[in-house]
């Protein structure tokens, strides 16, 4: 079982704001990183650290954290944002990495 | 531009050993960072397998540790995965990625910033 918990599916209307969450005890000590995976493609890093976007990632993607919960927010969701989103962090021991189960985002 | 490319057999028989290699270009493995393997069974989520540093230091997923070995060849700028005693449950797309965590620092959260395209490995007789 995953040490990071995500909602299996979330939907958002085109142009609206959506928040995808990731819960786990290790998130009290470590930031989560977030990955977008479109169908049939490799994952892409979209947020890391406190709230850092790699080059080329639109500024509608942002990250935040509070207690044992990390969040990925998409402000003004676009059709191309429809994808699976995964969080990742170190586990409670610090010696291993763990992924959340993933959230399937549907843009309506 | 950092690029990673997985290679290896696409079909492995049950009980045999899965072997994959990840060739890295645009960055020297000897410079820094860990380098990791991640897999994704068809229709399922991502699973971290393990990561290696250029010195050979490794960290493995506890659920796979008894069957996994990751090695690095800095002269060829590549690293490799071996998974023994495979079963159908090991059928997955296998990705290699650059792992930017500092396992030696409690303050490092890390991320996987560059990924290969992935290679499907099917375990079947």
Q: Give the DSSP letter string of B79-113.
A: EEEEE-S--GGG-EEEEEEEE---TT-TT----EE
DSSP, collapsed to helix, strand or coil, labels residue B5 as: strand
pLDDT, position B32: 85
Give yes or no for B36 touching A (CB within 8 A). Answer: yes
The average confidence (pLDDT) of chain B is 96
By Cβ distance, the residue of B46, B62, B103 closest to A43 is: B46
pLDDT in tens, B26-59: 999 999 899 999 999 999 999 999 999 999 999 9
Q: How far is CA A62 from the centre of its chain?
A: 9
What is the interface size between A and B, counted as CB pairs within 8 Å? 71
Q: What percent of chain A has pLDDT over 90?
A: 94
Does the pLDDT value for residue B21 go beyond 50?
yes
Sign for the pseudo-dihedral over CA of B3, B9, B14, B16: negative
pLDDT in tens, A63-106: 999 999 999 999 999 999 999 999 999 998 888 999 999 999 99
Q: What is the mean pLDDT of residues A47-68?
A: 96
pLDDT in tens, B71-98: 999 999 999 999 999 999 999 999 999 9
Q: Chain B residue closest to A103 (CA)?
A: B45
Sequence-ordered list of residues with C-beta below 8 angstroms from that of A23, at least 6 positions apart, any chain: A4, A5, A6, A68, A69, A70
Distance CA A49, CA B34 (A): 17
pLDDT band at A1 (very low <50, low <70, confident <90, very high): very low
Rounded (10°) CA dihedral A34, A37, A42, A43: 0
A96 and B112 in contact by Cβ < 8 A?
Answer: no
Q: Which residues of chain A are at the B interface, by a Cβ-Cβ cutoff of 8 Å?
A: 2, 29-33, 35, 37, 42-45, 48-49, 54, 86, 88-90, 94-102
Does the pLDDT value for residue A2 go beyond 60?
no
B46 and A102 in contact by Cβ < 8 A?
Answer: yes
B109 and A30 in contact by Cβ < 8 A?
Answer: yes
Under 8 Å between Cβ of B14 and B87: yes
């Amino acid at each position: 079982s995953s040490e990071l918990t995500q909602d299996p599916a979330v939907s958002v209307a085109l142009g609206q704001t959506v928040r995808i969450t990731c819960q786990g005890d290790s998130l009290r000590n470590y930031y989560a990183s977030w990955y977008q995976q479109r169908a049939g493609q490799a994952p892409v890093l979209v947020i890391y650290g406190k709230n850092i976007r790699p080059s080329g990632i639109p500024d509608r993607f942002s990250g935040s954290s509070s207690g044992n919960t990390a969040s990925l927010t998409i402000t003004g969701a676009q059709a191309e944002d429809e994808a699976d989103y995964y969080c990742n962090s170190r586990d409670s021991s610090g010696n291993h990495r763990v992924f959340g189960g993933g959230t399937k985002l549907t843009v309506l | 531009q950092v690029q990673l490319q997985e290679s290896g057999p696409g079909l492995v028989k049950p009980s045999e050993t899965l072997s994959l290699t990840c060739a890295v270009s645009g960055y020297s493995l000897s410079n820094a960072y860990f380098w990791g393997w991640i897999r994704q069974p068809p229709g399922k989520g991502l699973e971290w397998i393990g990561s290696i540093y250029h010195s050979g230091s490794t960290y493995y997923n506890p659920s796979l540790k008894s069957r996994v070995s990751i090695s690095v060849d800095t002269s060829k700028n590549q690293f490799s995965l071996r998974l023994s005693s495979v079963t159908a449950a090991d059928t997955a797309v296998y990705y290699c990625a650059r792992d930017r965590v500092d396992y030696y620092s409690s303050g490092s959260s890390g991320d996987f910033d560059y990924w290969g395209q992935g290679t499907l490995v099917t375990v079947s007789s």
